[in-house]
Structure 1
Amino acid sequence: MDAGWWAELDRPATQVATDASGAVLGVVSYALRPKDAHGVILWLYCRESETVARVLLAHAVTEMGPRPLDAFHFATALTLGLEALPVGHRPATHAALTAAGFAGTSLWRYMHRTLPTPELPHLDRYHTEPTTPDTRRLIVTEHGQTLADAMIGTPVQGIGVLWWIGVEPAARGQGLGRALLGTALDALGGMGATEVILFVDDDAPCGDDRDRTAAKSLYDSSGFVEIDRLYSFTKA
């Protein structure tokens, strides 16, 4: 999925920290990006030991040399599409990044609710098409024009993903988004999901083309609960 982004990087380095017995304590992966001379920390795991996180970060920063650094900025093959660091569930990693001089920016809300959703309205007319082996798109049209669409992910161990929902400007304010949301969640339930998660932008200015104020209001009023915030980090 991210072949173009990976192609911008030099070969990543992966370093493993162990104790005296050889047991793995943590691991960090990082790479240089020649186009802007930045260093990139791709991922870091430390069993949530702040001491281990600090050691791994210090090693990566030293190896990449004095330069601007980014951490947890993009999805990687290992995160399966999850961008940034869930700071609520990774407090030790977050603390280590802050102690190392990284500045964090909240980019996404990570939200969850259980299924089914009998309280939500549903659409009578829509059609579905596969987009990838793991996703499908629900589309609402009128007179050959797309009014709204949603993308859902095949459930894994009972957990489905709502990747996207959007309504064209001319069709907003009529309850179409809520009905499409109910329909998408019903479709996930029909595929075996008992829970659903989603990620929603938290960094777009109001009035911007990416403004997700309406989407966040929809999710908040439709039974979704925020369970974490996803941060990216920079260090000058």
Structure 2
Amino acid sequence: MVTFMPLVPGLALRPYTDQDRSTVLDLINADRLHGQPLVDRPMLADALAGRSRIDAGWWEELDPPVTTVATGSSGTVLGVVSCAVRPQDGTGLILWMHCGKSTVVARALVHHALTALADCRKWEAYQFASALTLGLEGLPVAHRPAVHAALTGQGFTARDEWRYMRRTLPASGLPSLETGVEPVAEGWRLTAGEKDRVEAEATVGLSGTTGVLWWIGVEQAARGRGLGRAMLGSALDFLSARGANEVILYVDDASGDPEQDRTAANALYESAGFVQVDRLFSYQR
């Protein structure tokens, strides 16, 4: 078995083995956010193999991931990091990483990842969702400060990408629409309009008792009539009727592009009872 040189006394890094599974699952689930699933063995197996239902196309572009654990002097697993290379552009990626609140372990894992990916042209971290999450595209910085500090301390530039929000269900006090429903890859697409014209739509999904609002939109010409709020009410009612007791969503409100301004969307979600859980950052070096 290959063992890498420790960066600090008592800390060693080695390849992940199946014997590490239970401890690694505990580390991952200790970082779980409200609205995210409890990670089980099949989900971890998918992440280790480089598979994910969400952002599947991005994962298909990668070489098989390499996963490394950090252990203490007693051999206890204290952290884990998974990396891969994207051959088409020579990018090295830190895919996911867990180490509790330990800044020492976080620094060691990031340093190891960059060493393992030393031949790459550039490096990225937390660029897309893994099988360990329900669409979490980025690092939740408020909940994972040690990882954020380790990445920025190693020269990564942090980019604030997404707002992650949640509310409980059922939702009361929202209007609703009569909608059409069709199955799609993410779950269901709800549509509403007049004279065979779709004016408002939403895409929703369901994982256990957690609903996901993947997308909601209103045609430009139909805005200002309350369709967005009514479609949101219909989407939440739809999820509640299928057993959801909470719902999450993501707002990509940090692009700076006036054409993608999310001020109205944020106001709508807040007025409908959604609260921010965290902000999601991606990283480049």
Taking structure 1 as the reference length, the TM-score comes to 0.91
Structure 1 residue aligned with 2:278 = 228
Distance (whole Å) between structure 2 residues aligned to residue 58 and residue 194 of structure 1: 41
Extract structure 1 runs of 4+ deviating beyond 6 A.
none
1:113-165 deviation per Cα after TM superposition (whole angstroms, max 9, x unaligned): 12222211111x21112213x61111113211111111111242x32111111
Structure 2 residue aligned with 1:152 = 204
Structure-2 change in CA distance of 1:37 and 1:155 (3 Å): closer
SS at match of 2:146: helix
SS at match of 2:258: coil
Structure 2 residue aligned with 1:120 = 174
More relative contact order, 1 or 2 (CA 8 Å, 6+ apart): 1
Structure 1 residue aligned with 2:112 = 59
- Cα offset, 1:6, TM superposition: 2.6
Q: Kindly, what percent of the aligned residue pairs are identical?
A: 56
Match of 1:50 among 103, 108, 114: 103
Question: Are residues 1:180 and 2:269 paired?
Answer: no
Structure 1 residue aligned with 2:265 = 215
Question: Are residues 1:93 and 2:147 paired?
Answer: yes
SS at match of 1:186: helix
Amino acid at match of 2:123: L
SS at match of 2:243: coil
Distance (whole Å) between structure 2 residues aligned to residue 178 and residue 135 of structure 1: 20
Contact 1:206 1:213 in 2 (8 A): no
Kindly indicate which of the two structures has a greater share of residues assigned to helix.
Answer: 2
Structure-2 change in CA distance of 1:80 and 1:219 (3 Å): closer
Contact 1:122 1:183 in 2 (8 A): yes
Distance (whole Å) between structure 1 residues aligned to residue 147 and residue 57 of structure 2: 28
Distance (whole Å) between structure 2 residues aligned to residue 56 and residue 171 of structure 1: 50
- Cα offset, 1:10, TM superposition: 2.5
Structure 1 residue aligned with 2:42 = none
Higher mean C-alpha deviation, range 14-23 or range 141-150: 14-23
Distance (whole Å) between structure 1 residues aligned to residue 210 and residue 130 of structure 2: 20
Question: Are residues 1:202 and 2:253 paired?
Answer: yes
Kindly indicate which of the two structures has a greater share of residues assigned to strand.
Answer: 1
Distance (whole Å) between structure 1 residues aligned to residue 56 and residue 117 of structure 2: 22
Q: Tell me, which stretches of 5 or more residues in structure 1 are unaligned?
A: none
Distance (whole Å) between structure 2 residues aligned to residue 79 and residue 121 of structure 1: 31
Distance (whole Å) between structure 2 residues aligned to residue 105 and residue 83 of structure 1: 12
Q: Tell me, which stretches of 5 or more residues in structure 2 are unaligned?
A: 1-52
Q: Residues 6-155 of structure 1: matches in 2 within 5 Å?
A: 6-65=59-118, 67-123=121-177, 125-132=178-185, 135-155=187-207
Distance (whole Å) between structure 1 residues aligned to residue 113 and residue 56 of structure 2: 23
Taking structure 2 as the reference length, the TM-score comes to 0.76
1:62-83 deviation per Cα after TM superposition (whole angstroms, max 9, x unaligned): 1111642100011223334210
Contact 1:39 1:70 in 2 (8 A): yes
Contact 1:16 1:26 in 2 (8 A): yes
Contact 1:155 1:191 in 2 (8 A): no
- Cα offset, 1:3, TM superposition: 4.4
Higher mean C-alpha deviation, range 16-25 or range 179-188: 16-25
Amino acid at match of 1:117: A
RMSD: 1.7
- Cα offset, 1:231, TM superposition: 0.2
Distance (whole Å) between structure 2 residues aligned to residue 225 and residue 212 of structure 1: 15
Distance (whole Å) between structure 2 residues aligned to residue 130 and residue 6 of structure 1: 24
